[in-house]
Structure 1
Amino acid sequence: MKEFVISEAQAETAVLVALITQSQDERKTNEYLDELAFLAETAGADVVKKFTQRLDMANSVTYVGKGKLQEIKDYVTENEVGMVIFDDELSAKQIRNIEGELQVKILDRTSLILDIFAMRAQTAHAKTQVELAQYKYMLPRLTRLWTHLERQGGGSGGGKGGSVGLRGPGETQLEMDRRIILGRMSLLKGQLADIDKQKATQRKNRGSMIRVALVGYTNVGKSTLMNLLSKSDVFAENKLFATLDTTVRKVIIENLPFLLSDTVGFIRKLPTDLVESFKSTLDEVREADLLLHVVDISHPGFEEQIEIVNKTLADIGGAGKPCILIFNKIDAYTYVEKAPDDLTPRTKDNLTLEELMNTWMAKMEDNCLFISAREKVNMEEFKSVVYNRVKALHVQRFPYNDFLYQTYDKDEEIE
């Protein structure tokens, strides 16, 4: 599957397009465009321009209005831009019309995320999940993707005028391709079902240890925290979706062993097909006894990111579990100090970290921690809280188990 891949060797210039609507003001749209730019850069594209337009809703034909589309076309032509990326998922009709007008590659947010997942997938499991999601995305868009193949593969359906020896169902190339893709999807689902059985068996064989899962928005520092706790070398970098495959490690704090998993990060408008394909990967979240919800407190929209993660957890059946909010990156937190004569109401952007910690977060007690995984700030407090929580869960579940009092010398990877 190479339909969406943008390799670094073929880096292209790109412009981004988003709408300002009644439900999405200009500040939020600009924030979403910044995230879309980060996604594009992660995929290897070079973003050179961002376009926005105020509309009540997306134009059903061209997403933006006719005048704005012409403005984008003029810029793309004059600057030889190779790609236009839209912040919302486009229909086949929209893609076909926009592509016909702009004459360049058109991507939407979903296809861009799928592209990144295709780049990041390393194991057979992840590659199978991504390929299935790509086919699910492609299927309703075959009219656009395969128009050059739309020709009669047989006769005219058995009626008059059919050539001798070619009379038959009159299946078009488009229908054949659709049938091939459906067959491939069925095969991939079967492969995933087999892998899921293996994973389920592995989870059952892990013994009576409490399971803790790191969850959170993408690029909030989950893998860095995983490395600190497990003394391992899980891949971590400042790019979106650095982690695709769930990694599980046995971690020991004092004399207490437990299993810690690092899962794929969530994001706004995470494609439904991708969530569906990755449900087996997210089984670690559903079966966890305790969630560590990692939040990037330095991000201006961290509260919305918390809501997105909570909604995604609910969608995959992981809501309602014991959870600790881990506010990471306190070393990167910044605020705008108001001038003495500034009488405008204070906002979250004007609060110091100490003042922010005394807002709604103060009511959460030890269900809310503030750390810097990179600078190793407040890590002892973090370990202490996790230790006490895991110990309480263990004693509750295994009251007669002397497992806590065994000695363990090192962490180990759990397959």
Structure 2
Amino acid sequence: MSTPTQSTPTQSTPRRTPAALTIRALLLLGLSAAPASAQDTITTPNPTGQPAFAPQPVTYPSAAAAAAAAQTYAEQARSTYPKGSANIDQVLWTQAANAAEAAVKAKPGNADYLKLRAGIYTEVGFWRQAELGWAAYFKVVPVVAGSPEARQAGAAQYNLGYAAYSRSQPDLAARYFTECLKLDPKNAQCAGWAARTALEGSDYARAQTLYTQALALTPGDRSLLYFQGLAQKASDYGPAATQAFSRAYADLDAGRKDRALTGFQAAALSAPNFNEAWRQAGRLALEAGNAQAALEAYQGAVALPAADASDKFNLALAQEGVQYGLDAVRTFRAAYAQYASGSKAAAADGFAQATVQNPDYAKAWSWLGRVRYEAQDYPGAAEAYGRAVALDPNDKPSAYFLKLAQQGK
């Protein structure tokens, strides 16, 4: 596991299509640095109340002519719009979809036309329509798991599953991810997310099986290993804590750090033996500059047998941060590191900066006095030591060197 001061790995999410969506498509949230904008047209349930894409009727001399037009529009769209931006609201893609619908309407049982239509919806990321399109195709052509067509159909199921997950519909998400694996058994993303929904649903045995399957497809994946370990320990934490942690991790992936912090705190409070929940809460609290929340989190972590040196280090940082402010403490610690490495001039600047950030930081004044004294800047050392002693009369070493500095020796 990574230390509390490092970010944990992320699980991959669908691709992003940057074009703006109208009411004909729903914009999905993403979980990673490059998430998808899946155009989800599910109408039951449909939390935003937006209607599905409705193809406009167009007339062609024949089904073949309509299919040819769909292919032409699609080729023009690929050459016209930026790579990766395919979207149903782009005019050429809309025309391609309308033409493909016309071809299917003219000859509903033609496998080539059904495949063309499903492929267009898949390419533009219009996942609900893609799902329906592939279902219609597979009624005519038996599905072959792992075939190019099945993989495209699996992509639709995957994105619909992620859409459901982002709407907090875990049962629906699990169904989509399971269907994706039936279509594309080698899809590691579907295996990973199917495992995640099983984990959150307290089906820990299935979650471990699915994580093993996903890791067999992508050996060494840090995110999968991370959650596989969580699945193995989940029964020790209980369903409430496990689900809160998993959802917090999703929020963290999506950049919703405030929500992630709240979720990790909830997981830790629900299961006080959940070391990683305490650590994640502490790390986020430190990052947000919330010393009090970090203190509470690392107190929880350090109280457990699995506590390590980094937990204790961060606890001390949080304790000082509550008293003097995290910025001043971090500046002081960086200056101390420079001092230890022999960069005493830089250390002096750092200690001085820490005293500016918090004029009541006695230890910073004391160390500022020390570097000045070692540089034989006795007036400057006397000034710094004097402030240190005034703030902490029990600081005997500072009092001793204050007298020496005042005597210039």
TM over 0.5, yes or no?
A: no
Structure that is richer in helix per residue? 2
In our comparison, the structure showing a higher alpha carbon Rg is 2
* Higher RCO (CA < 8 A, seq sep 6+): 1
Structure that is richer in strand per residue? 1
Q: What is the TM-score when the length of structure 1 is the normalising length?
A: 0.26
